[in-house]
Amino acid sequence: MKTFSKIYVALIILFLYAPVAVMVFFSFNSGGSVWIFESFSFDWYKGILFDTAMMEGLKHTIIIAILSASAATVLGTAAAVGILALRRKIFRSFATTVTNIPMMNADIVTGVSLMLLFVFFGRMIGLSESLGFITVLIAHITFNLPYVILSVIPKLNQTDKNLHEAALDLGCTPVQAFFKVVIPSIKTGIFTGFIMSFTLSLDDFVISYFTCGHYQTLPVVIYNMTKKTVKPDVYALSTLVFVVIFVLLILYNTVQTKSEQRRTLNA
């Protein structure tokens, strides 16, 4: 049983990583094919640095990810606090519904519905090209918000309600109490929400595809490249992204494990 389960887990991991391995492998191909390997080279890695479309896309993606994650974090944290304070059932269920819709709905529906809004509104104010930086940013903030809210709310629920009162009791105004006491106690939730937003935003293709117009993010650039035959340069870029994320994740994880160990030692 033990060996069976180990083999099973290993097979699943193999399945998950086979395409990744293929991608990494062919990114070093000197030839232009992604399934016939000629010889080892770094040419495609050098090539992507000079590929302006890709570099533009990368820049756009990072800008959108940073801005949308930050905006969603601020707006979403405030929303989480506010939603928990809502007393009327009708407001609460409205908040629950609008939070769930973007998470439950298919990305394609979210994407096209936002596009329709932007196009319609753009026509109304007489714009010929209504899609671009602003619209893709709005779209990303919109789909990031629920993730921030849902990672902050559990932290707020865990927080001792008396903390806020204790701060008031010691002379803080309600606003001071919020920043001095409540924010520090939910900061891990806020951080998780930011990281989730950031990665979702980096990764998003479908919604960006429908809302970005000429402000193409990297996944949209890649999509347009894979419409034609793919050359290993896309693989090279993805390998780089993969390595960066891998390193970040390992770092994040060791930091977290360390701080957890410290906490258990102290307790």
Is there a contact between 115 and 208 (Cβ–Cβ < 8 Å)? no
| C-beta of 53 vs 250, nearer to other proteins | 250
- For residue 196, give the amino acid letter: M
Cα 208 to its chain centre, rounded Å, is 12
Evaluated on CA atoms 70, 72, 76, 78, the torsion sign reads: positive
Q: How far is the CB of 239 from other proteins (least distance, A)?
A: 9
Interacting span for other proteins (CB under 8 A) from 9-17, 41-49, 62-70, 125-133:
9-17
3-state SS assignment for residue 82:
helix
> CB-wise, 85 or 125, nearer to other proteins?
85
| Identity of the residue, 186 or 215, whose beta carbon is nearer to other proteins in the bound complex | 186
192-251 residues in contact with other proteins (CB under 8 A) are 199, 202-203, 205-206, 209-210, 218-219, 222-223, 226, 230, 234-235, 238, 241-242, 245-246, 249-250
User: Which residues touch 253 (CB under 8 Å, ≥6 apart)?
Assistant: none
Query: Which of 87, 125, 129, 228 is close enough to bind other proteins by CB under 8 A?
Result: 87
SS3 27: helix
Number of residues binding to other proteins, judged by CB under 8 A: 112
| C-alpha angle 40-46-49 in degrees, rounded to nearest 5 | 150
Task: Please state, in angstroms and rounded to a whole number, the distance separating the CA atoms of residues 168 and 170.
Answer: 5
* Per-residue mark of binding to other proteins, 40-69 (x: CB under 8 A): ------------------------------
Residue type, 121: F
Cα separation, 198 vs 202, whole angstroms: 6
Of 40-48, 62-70, 126-134, 141-149, which part binds other proteins (CB under 8 A)?
Answer: 141-149
Paired residues of 29 in beta bridges: 40
Choosing from 81, 132, 133, 231, the residue that interacts with other proteins (CB under 8 A) is: 81
Footprint of other proteins on 147-186 (CB under 8 A): 149-150, 153, 160, 162-163, 165-174, 176-178, 180-181, 184-185
The residue range among 45-53, 62-70, 114-122, 125-133 that interacts with other proteins, by the rule CB under 8 A, is 114-122
